[in-house]
Chain A
């Protein structure tokens, strides 16, 4: 059993839901990212998503676009991120998921990448622009290498697509709460609960909800229907606001702590 599956089993046994935090790897540098991973685990985050910066992040809003630019400016590469994961893997138990657009992975070589990622301690992978239709080879290779390939389902997904994606998604299913790019939204779409139930008719895999989530209230609300919630841009914003490494870790930590406690409330 992989770390992700293990984690969800564990949460279930304890009657809890997952709080998943996204940060951009290398934003503003690897040293900060390393400290943040340790701190996020300490604050009770259940899974960590590390963003891989890409020059053309077409599913991302301004906050994550800017974070990606900062990470690229500090020389962040995919292989550098694998080394970082290797470095922190001995210090944390938390499942680590990479979120990357397909081109950096394709350019690295899908097979080599999955092999190396496993070796360095990566548990899961999200590729937002790898559509179901083009995914077969990657799905097979991920399975072979023991890496969970997590797929996204959107509010626009047809029943047929929901069924197929639920089948191949591994680790959990990422439900995109809204039609749009990543980024903080004041209010969430009302039908999220209904939609998650629709997905759950096809699968027993955990369904986690992300995109647009930033407040304690939203976290609490979404966990009513789902198995986990993903917060990205709102955390990345704290990294952006920090003056230096220490300040970034402090601001992020405080913010995440509040969200985690909201996720733990019964």
Chain B
């Protein structure tokens, strides 16, 4: 069985729930993607840019001191943080920009939360000389100012979104409104494995390079596949990119959601752990909603995970129990962030710190011969300001 089916369904999840104005464009995109998906010229071009421009393959690094400290399973880090632009987002933007070029769309729009996808989109637009407009919530513009500046340097126009909760969800609403208006010349470059079909499938396919490399590297280094794969899940693109190539293996998947101030506090972004099935941004999936089906505001220390929905394939993995989904709090992610800085000399993105935090909990419970691969989806330079603020906030309490 290959997923999704030809209508974009992963079991009961996914699909295309969009205004009619966009449906023809979505059909065209689907056709264009179906065509290039197996096209050798396209794939070799994609591969070329992944290698020569983005810096693939990324290392699978054995975190020796972290492993020793935790005293359990061996922890390996998939170093997506070492890619050009500092996160896994570049994999997908390279794939989609090559597609947009083939579709002859001169104008590219994108939404961004933490700014990593915005920077990655601005980067590939600069490289190919295409117009780039990035929608970003006002709240995220404030907390991710470094990335905002980078995008501007790269020639992108930033549209600050002031509606709703002023974060990723609202940036996506506004990007869709732009797309509805400018659909004829505009390509919407979605950064998450969410949105209407074919986006969840397409983003997954472009991000699958992560899992494919891990498979190969693990076999080379350990002579076996990893026992566990751990990745953070907001929309879920880095996680699905890591998991998908292992779908038919026995390797266990763990997706880590943003628990914010705890699932009982109501201040979190754990759509799978604490949400219910609904329709948001074009697909059916787990979402955070109130009793009347209104989307709830979310909270996370990490802007990239601060989203009330999740890609439909993750909902399917949850539903069929192929993957386990857990959450870690802001504090746990912060502690993991510090730990990785201190004992491995790696500054992880706050998003990826969620995955590290769960590995810290899990590893001691496992046998020493077991292998965990944590997707270090991005680097943490962009989060330094947040970390400083957070330290100021928690220090008096800890004393």
> B294's contact among A72, A79, A130, A153, by CB below 8 Å, is which?
A72
User: Mind listing 11 A-B residue pairs with CB under 8 Å?
Assistant: A59-B19, A65-B163, A107-B289, A107-B292, A108-B293, A131-B18, A152-B20, A161-B23, A179-B180, A180-B21, A181-B177
CB distance from A71 to the nearest CB of B (A): 11
The answer on a CB contact under 8 Å between B176 and A153 is no
Q: Does B268 contact A (CB under 8 A)?
A: no
CB distance from B61 to the nearest CB of A (A): 40
Of residues 53 through 108 on chain A, the ones whose CB sits less than 8 Å from some CB of chain B are: 54-59, 61, 65, 72, 77-79, 102-108
Tally of A-B residue pairs with Cβ under 8 A?
A: 116
Could you say which residues of chain B place their CB within 8 Å of the CB of A156? 20-25, 183-184
CB distance from B11 to the nearest CB of A (A): 14
CB distance from A196 to the nearest CB of B (A): 15
The answer on a CB contact under 8 Å between A181 and B180 is yes
Q: How far is the CA of A155 from the CA of B279 in the complex (A)?
A: 25
Could you say which residues of chain B place their CB within 8 Å of the CB of A105? 293
The answer on a CB contact under 8 Å between B17 and A131 is yes
Number of residues of chain A lying within 8 A (CB) of chain B = 40
List the A residue with the shortest CB-CB distance to B7.
Answer: A133
CB distance from A180 to the nearest CB of B (A): 4
Q: How far is the CA of A151 from the CA of B23 in the complex (A)?
A: 13
CB distance from A243 to the nearest CB of B (A): 25
Q: Which residues of B contact A (CB under 8 A)?
A: 7, 15-25, 27, 163-164, 169-170, 173, 176-177, 180-184, 276, 278-282, 284, 287, 289, 292-295
The answer on a CB contact under 8 Å between A130 and B180 is no
Q: How far is the CA of A176 from the CA of B23 in the complex (A)?
A: 13
The answer on a CB contact under 8 Å between A129 and B19 is yes
Identify whether the interface residues of B are mostly helix, strand, loop, or mixed: mixed
Scoring B15, B23, B169, B278 by chain A CB atoms within 10 A of each residue's CB, the highest score goes to B23
The answer on a CB contact under 8 Å between B183 and A179 is yes
The answer on a CB contact under 8 Å between A58 and B19 is yes
Q: How far is the CA of A133 from the CA of B164 in the complex (A)?
A: 29
Q: How far is the CA of A133 from the CA of B7 in the complex (A)?
A: 8
The answer on a CB contact under 8 Å between A179 and B21 is yes
Q: How far is the CA of A139 from the CA of B280 in the complex (A)?
A: 20
Could you say which residues of chain B place their CB within 8 Å of the CB of A152? 19-20
Known contacts A131-B16, A134-B16, A158-B24, A58 near B176 by CB under 8 Å: yes
Could you say which residues of chain B place their CB within 8 Å of the CB of A131? 16-20, 23
List the B residue with the shortest CB-CB distance to A54.
Answer: B294
CB distance from A130 to the nearest CB of B (A): 7
Scoring A54, A56, A77, A102 by chain B CB atoms within 10 A of each residue's CB, the highest score goes to A56
Q: How far is the CA of A179 from the CA of B20 in the complex (A)?
A: 10
List the B residue with the shortest CB-CB distance to A175.
Answer: B20
List the B residue with the shortest CB-CB distance to A174.
Answer: B20
List the B residue with the shortest CB-CB distance to A135.
Answer: B17
Q: Does A44 contact B (CB under 8 A)?
A: no
Could you say which residues of chain A place their CB within 8 Å of the CB of B293? 78, 103-108
Could you say which residues of chain B place their CB within 8 Å of the CB of A55? 164, 294-295
Q: How far is the CA of A158 from the CA of B57 in the complex (A)?
A: 42
Known contacts A54-B294, A56-B280, A165 near B180 by CB under 8 Å: no
